[in-house]
Amino acid sequence: MLIENFITCFARKKNSTYLQFSPATSLSIPISKEDHAPLLLYLHVPFCEELCPYCSFNRVVFKEALAREYFAALRKEINLYKKQGYNFQSLYVGGGTPTILIDELGHTLKLIKELYGVAEISVETNPNHLNEKNIKVLKNVGVNRLSVGVQSFDDDLLKAIERYHKYGSGQDIVARLRHTQGVFDTLNVDMIFNFPMQTIAMLEKDLSTIIELGVDQATYYPLMVSASTQNAIKKKLGQVDYKQEKTFYKKITQMLSPHYQASTAWCFSKNNTMIDEYVVNFEEYAGLGSGSFGYLDGCVYANTFDIQEYINRLNNGILPIAAKKDFSIKERARYDFLMKLFGLKLDLKQLGKKTKGSVYYYLWPEILFFLIAGGLKKRGKELVLTKRGQYYWVVMMREFFIGVNNFRDFCRFNLNPKKN
Ligand SMILES: C[S@@+](CC[C@H](N)C(=O)[O-])C[C@H]1O[C@@H](n2cnc3c(N)ncnc32)[C@H](O)[C@@H]1O
Ligand code: SF4
């Protein structure tokens, strides 16, 4: 655990400087270039029927009138990007719960299809939304990948994380998944490992259920504890033990590997399915919706977290950007190093073009460390993760997402002080 502890401390320290943004002085996004690499469009729908205590993503309790105004504002933002010359090849709708108002989501996806050449659509949802009406709308509008938040099939665990009463028992969830299977190109289940009260026996049972169901893809997130959720997690679930995380991860890869291939360090897919993590597949992306992040032309930006302000700005025809940061070449190289290796391999030649030939100049400490620690190996012009490296990247990405979640909390408090 020495190396993993070192990676955790190192990543935590780096992320705290890496993710320091300033309030945006200019509210624009870069104008799209003709020769832009393929881009992904990320849309955020922050509403949930109830809030899960462990979740530190950007989400608020659902109120229908506000959510309808929100979807209308989202469509205005989508139109503004078209006016700036953007085109998008792929769409990811995340939450919150994107299917909270299926008619609004349907209209929004239809508009995107009319405006842009998106070839793939991925949507997140919850098990209680897997009903005939929703599935029909999603299928008709061309959704290819549906990602369902399951977390676990264990009833005691579902009760402890306060999802049982909302999303049903493990058995209910299995039945709904079975019913949905085969409708979309990819049916993904989002799972979490390393909840304090989770046992290895519970994990094994969940893995057997996934294998028996034969869903196309399983994403196994390590529990991420950010500053805003640590007290609730400790009080309701207990103390998180990172030693257990490694044991759990080993069990996950061991049980899934005969049936699934790793497509990222924590996403396991059957053949020819879409990838879950757009940050791996797309060099750059636009983030639309309140609290979304985008990464365009080396500039990372975040939209306002204040939903009413988000709506007001768009009603006035203004982009809702609240904070921005231009990455230096070194920061761009570090970002690519992290994301590409999360997808298991890094093309040194391609990254060399971005850093004008000097990948090692910018990244030698990281590369050397992971080569010596046995997490990386060189294969031709590529760096690839070893088996051990896959777990190191779970740790790296866990810390990256915790850093992003802490940054979100910072934005909520510091960029919208009147709301807090
Ligand atoms: C942010 S939710 C949005 C979609 C939907 N509301 C749901 O619950 O699945 C997407 C997934 O993020 C994962 N997630 C949420 N909070 C997490 C945390 N603290 N640690 C690890 N994964 C988390 C869960 O697996 C969840 O299904
Ligand atoms: S896990 Fe999903 S349903 Fe629960 S609060 Fe987070 S976004 Fe909402």
Same domain, 88 and 104: yes
* Residue 361 CA, ligand 2 centroid: distance in Å: 41
pLDDT digits (tens, 9 = 90+) for 56-90: 888 999 999 999 999 999 999 999 999 988 999 99
Same domain, 4 and 31: no
Tell me how many domains the chain contains.
2
Ligand 1 neighbour 218 (Cβ under 6 A):
no
- Residue 96 CA: nearest ligand 2 atom is 7
Mean pLDDT of the chain: 90
Same domain, 5 and 32: no
Residue 41's domain comprises: 22-280
Same domain, 264 and 375: no
pTM higher than 0.85 for the full model?
yes
Determine which residue's CA is closest to atom 6 belonging to ligand 2.
Answer: 55
Same domain, 65 and 84: yes
Task: For a ligand 1 pocket test, name from 57, 233, 278, 293 the mutation site with the most ligand atoms within 8 angstroms of its C-beta.
Answer: 57
Residue where one domain finishes, among candidates 280, 296, 315: 280
Cα separation, 14 vs 246, whole angstroms: 22
Same domain, 241 and 270: yes
Same domain, 372 and 352: yes
Position 72 in a domain: yes
List own/partner pairs for 33-38 with CB under 8 A and 24 or more apart: 33/297, 36/86, 36/87, 36/284, 37/283, 37/284, 38/89, 38/90, 38/282
| Cβ-count burial 277-294 (b if 16+ within 10 Å, e if not) | bbbbbbbbbbbbbbbbbb
- 31 — pLDDT class (breaks 50, 70, 90): low
Query: What mean pLDDT is predicted for residues 21-39?
Result: 66
Position 289 in a domain: no
Ligand 1 neighbour 194 (Cβ under 6 A):
no
Same domain, 273 and 365: no
Ligand 1 neighbour 167 (Cβ under 6 A):
no
Query: What mean pLDDT is predicted for residues 348-361?
Result: 84
Same domain, 245 and 357: no
Closest CA to 301 of 41, 24, 18: 24
Position 235 in a domain: yes
Same domain, 17 and 46: no
Determine which residue's CA is closest to atom 9 belonging to ligand 1.
Answer: 149
Position 323 in a domain: no
Cα separation, 162 vs 247, whole angstroms: 25
Residue where one domain finishes, among candidates 280, 312, 342: 280
pLDDT digits (tens, 9 = 90+) for 119-167: 999 999 999 999 999 999 999 999 999 999 999 999 999 999 999 999 9
Same domain, 42 and 10: no
Find the CATH number of the domain harbouring 2.
1.10.10.920
Determine which residue's CA is closest to atom 21 belonging to ligand 1.
Answer: 223
Position 44 in a domain: yes
Ligand 1 neighbour 192 (Cβ under 6 A):
yes
Same domain, 28 and 14: no
pLDDT digits (tens, 9 = 90+) for 367-412: 999 999 999 999 999 999 999 999 999 999 999 988 888 777 777 6
